Structure formats: C-alpha cells, structure tokens
Amino acid sequence: MTDWVTISALATAAGTLVLAAATFASVRSGNRSARLAERALDLSLRPLLMPSRLEDPAQKIQWVDEHWTHVEGGKATVELDGGNIYLAMSVRNAGTGIAVLEAWYVEPDFADASGSQTDPSRFRSHSRDMYIPAGDIGFWQGAIRDPNDATHDGLLDVAQRRQPFFVDVLYGDHESARRTISRFVLRPGGESEWFCSAVRHWNLDLPAR
C-alpha cells in the first residue's frame, strides 16, 4: 500500500533542500557581484600622478623654513641654498580619486631608475599632506637640510653637476589603505631648467595610517 504521508514528507524535504541550495547559490553570486562591483569602484577611484603639461600655469611653493620658489607646468626645480636642497615638481592627477601625497624617496643614482619598487619603509614622511584633486594640477615638494643625511652629499653632487636623478612619491586616495608609488625622473634642460617625467607606477595595499 502506498504510504502517501511518507512520500509527501520526502517531497517536501526535497523541495526545501532544492530551495536552500538555490538560495545559497544566489547569495554567493550576489556576494561575488558585490565584491566585483566594490573592486571596480576602488580601481575607478584610484589617483594617478603624472607630470603636468607645459601649458599649465606656474605654481608658487613655500617650505616650512620660508624658502619660496615657482615651478612651471611640466617642470621641476632643484635649488641649493646654504647647504639645503629644495626639490619640487609640477604634477597632474590623471586618476579619478583625490591624491593625498604622504611620503617620498629620492635616489641620486640614476642607474637605479628602471629598477624595482622602493621599500616603503625607506620613504620620508611629508610634514603635511598635500592634496591634488582628480583631473587637476598640484605640486610635490621635498627638502634635505641635514648635511649628515645619507642622501645629502650624493644629491648635492648630481644637482651641482646637473645630472638626472629620480624621486618616488607615495600617495593614496584618503578613503582606504590603497597606496600608489609613482617614480619621477628629474632631468636638466638648458642651463638652469629641470623637467620631470613619470617612468613607473606601483599599486600597493598598505595599512591605513
């Protein structure tokens, strides 16, 4: 004799199992889609520093010790004053997120410009963050004042002999732990000018400050 009660219970259990499996698959798919959408949003909001254009306006820059300079579009400045070395670049944020410049590293040995990424622990922190809006121009600045600094004499030598060197700039988008390192080469032009060009970029995931 057919046990309809048992058959009905088994059918109900099977339907419940199928529904649970479909729900689980739907949730997993939804989570995956959400992660992909979040990742796409993260990438779309990442800033990217490039040299500004030659036709961009000049910018006036001040250091904490009251040293002043002007840097023109697409160019850099390397100034020596009383043993202090002042560096600046006119840059453009070609990305879609606000660039927050946090730290930098300078290397007088130009032969290393095509090398690997610099260890972030070797970077010098800026005394203040510098903000560059998406699609707009801004500037980077740095200075070495301590004659006992390991980089001072080497950088002073290449600056006086007007030889190229490179600067790595570490920056983020201010909303997450995402960071980018952009490598810029500073090259002399003419008798007194310096130009900058971007040669490498590295995307990092560093702990938020």
- pLDDT per position in the chain (209 positions), as tens? 556 666 666 667 676 776 766 676 666 755 565 454 444 445 557 999 999 999 999 999 999 999 999 999 999 999 999 999 999 999 999 999 999 999 999 999 998 888 899 999 999 999 888 999 999 999 999 999 999 999 999 999 999 999 999 999 999 986 667 899 999 999 999 889 999 999 999 998 755 55
Instruction: Please tell me the predicted confidence (pLDDT) of residue 68.
Output: 97
Instruction: Please tell me the predicted confidence (pLDDT) of residue 191.
Output: 86
Q: How far apart are CA 164 and CA 111, in angstroms?
A: 10
Cα–Cα nearest to 130, from 56, 64, 205, 53: 64
Count Cβ atoms within 10 A of the Cβ of residue 18 and give its class: 0-12 exposed, 13-18 middle, 19 or more buried: exposed
Write down the domain spans for the chain: 1-44, 49-205
What is the CA angle 125-127-128, rounded to 5? 105
Instruction: Please tell me the predicted confidence (pLDDT) of residue 20.
Output: 67
DSSP string, 123-188: PEEEEEEEEE-TT-EEEEEEEE--TTSTTHHHHHHHHHTT--EEEEEEEE-SSSSEEEEEEEEEEE
Note whether 75 and 194 are within 8 A (CB). yes
Instruction: Please tell me the predicted confidence (pLDDT) of residue 2.
Output: 57
Amino acid letter for position 5: V
Q: How far apart are CA 8 and CA 6, in angstroms?
A: 5
